[in-house]
Amino acid sequence: MEFLVYQIRLFSTEDADHGGPFYYHWVVLLIGCFPASVFAIRGFFRSGSDTPYQKHMKRWMLILFWVVLILFSIVKTKIVHYSSLCYFPLTFLAAYCAHKLILEEWPWKKWMSAVLLFTGGMLGLLLTALPIIAMNRTAILAANIIKDPFAAGNFGADVHWSGWEVGIGLLFLAGVLACFILALKKKMKAAIISLFVLTLLSTNLSSLVFAPKVEGYSQRAAIDFYESLKGQKCYIDVIGFKSYAHLFYTDKDPSSNTPFMEWYKQNPPKGLAPGAHVSSGQMDIFYYEYLRSQPLDRPVYVVSKNTHAKEFEHDFPAYRKLSEKNGFVFYIRN
């Protein structure tokens, strides 16, 4: 029953604050699976030169792709990995198309150049611009361009950029341009190899270089706080956002992080029928009431976003503010 209720909720509501338009996963696959996505689009078309085995395999790959994509386009909850099963048929169709192009069974189309240059150019420019934007964070923050207080707090983190990181985006753009030029010259094997090799290098470099720096903006202040509490006899929770990081980095078992559930069993909410389903929102309210009013056998630490700080301080006056850093606010109740 829990499983069925959950699936219905995914279909009918934007669960867990993850909503998006119908075309959400179409964009995810086009950009996230570049450059395979460019070739996969061409792979959707019929081919008169297919063997019976190629036709059979392609048919199943198309069925798998469209069932997954259409299903999760209808689902109102939109999360990137929901369409991840499309990666397999998409890359098969890309390889199928590359095979046809190299054997000159298919010609390179102008629309393929357009999709290649648009998608690849956009990604390459983004990778190139990211270090430049980061190195000018002081001027950007002073100009008040970022309106969201939490995002502005994140961006204020002290993350070091050397400047050479721009080369990763330029390497990516070089692969896109090399493929375009070589494809126009009908040197398809060289075009495909240059595109995929340079994309492989630049995306892996991005993961190694950019990801730790982005983490420095997005959550390092919170992670450092969690790690400082590792091994301490305390409770810790987050309010105003969803996370498991506070449990992971403090090395706490969720069941021992709070005695709330035992208290909840002994003090069921008034007016709630026995065995009645309780939504996560209602449970949050009961939990916050517990944090607010019940005696504690150890300190409780709470991490909030700066966008929720005033509301939290008003609702929970017993909590003392410890510090604030990069958009996160840290509290304690002794």
- CA 235 to centroid of chain Cα atoms: 28
Q: Residue 311: pLDDT band by 50, 70, 90 thresholds?
A: confident
What pLDDT score was predicted for residue 124?
A: 95
What pLDDT score was predicted for residue 316?
A: 80
Task: Compute φ and ψ for 313, nearest 5 degrees.
Answer: -65, -35
| Closest to 233 measured CA to CA, from 298, 295, 294, 291 | 298
Q: Please, are residues 127 and 202 in contact by the beta-carbon 8 Å criterion?
A: yes
Residues 139 and 190 in one domain: yes
Total domains, the chain = 3
The 10 Å Cβ neighbour count of residue 158 is: 9
Last residue of a domain, one of 106, 128, 149: 106
| Tokens (6 digits) for 88 | 């397999």
Residues 228 and 301 in one domain: yes
What pLDDT score was predicted for residue 329?
A: 95
| Tokens (6 digits) for 203 | 């995306």
Residues 60 and 129 in one domain: no
Last residue of a domain, one of 218, 238, 254: 218
What pLDDT score was predicted for residue 276?
A: 62
Q: Which of 48-52, 90-94, 237-241, 294-298 has the highest mean pLDDT?
A: 90-94
Q: Which residue has the tokens 């390889």?
A: 95
The 10 Å Cβ neighbour count of residue 239 is: 21
The yes-or-no verdict on residue 16 having pLDDT over 60 is no
What pLDDT score was predicted for residue 263?
A: 65
pLDDT tens for residues 140-191? 988 988 888 999 999 999 899 999 999 999 999 999 999 999 999 999 999 9
Task: Compute φ and ψ for 188, nearest 5 degrees.
Answer: -65, -40
Question: By CB neighbour count within 10 A (0-12 exposed, 13-18 middle, 19+ buried), where does 175 fall?
Answer: buried
CA distance 73 to 166: 35
Residues 227 and 326 in one domain: yes
What pLDDT score was predicted for residue 77?
A: 80
The yes-or-no verdict on residue 202 having pLDDT over 90 is yes
Q: Residue 2: pLDDT band by 50, 70, 90 thresholds?
A: confident
Residues 37 and 94 in one domain: yes
Comparing 49-63, 69-83, 173-187, 192-206, the range with the smallest average pLDDT is 69-83
Task: Read off the DSSP letter of residue 35.
Answer: T
Residues 242 and 320 in one domain: yes
The yes-or-no verdict on residue 64 having pLDDT over 90 is yes
Q: Please, are residues 149 and 310 in contact by the beta-carbon 8 Å criterion?
A: no
Residues 239 and 254 in one domain: yes
What pLDDT score was predicted for residue 79?
A: 86
Q: Please, are residues 183 and 114 in contact by the beta-carbon 8 Å criterion?
A: no
- The parent domain of residue 237 ranges over 223-333
Residues 203 and 180 in one domain: yes
What pLDDT score was predicted for residue 6?
A: 78
What pLDDT score was predicted for residue 283?
A: 66
pTM of the model: 0.77
Q: Residue 325: pLDDT band by 50, 70, 90 thresholds?
A: very high
For helices 188-218 and 220-228, give the axis angle rounded to 10 degrees: 50
Query: What is the average pLDDT across 285-312?
Result: 80
Higher per-residue confidence, 264 vs 194: 194
Residues ≥6 apart with Cβ < 8 Å to 158: none
What pLDDT score was predicted for residue 120?
A: 95
What percent of the chain stands above pLDDT 90? 60
CA distance 308 to 306: 5
Higher per-residue confidence, 272 vs 64: 64
Residues 242 and 165 in one domain: no
Residues ≥6 apart with Cβ < 8 Å to 114: none
CA distance 161 to 130: 10
Last residue of a domain, one of 106, 134, 154: 106
Residues 92 and 139 in one domain: no
CA distance 177 to 185: 13
Helices (runs of H) and strands (runs of E) counted in the chain: 16, 4
Q: Please, are residues 141 and 156 in contact by the beta-carbon 8 Å criterion?
A: yes
Residues 99 and 114 in one domain: no
Residues 69 and 116 in one domain: no
Higher per-residue confidence, 297 vs 329: 329
CA distance 181 to 200: 19
Comparing 56-70, 209-223, 259-273, the range with the smallest average pLDDT is 259-273
CA distance 229 to 246: 9
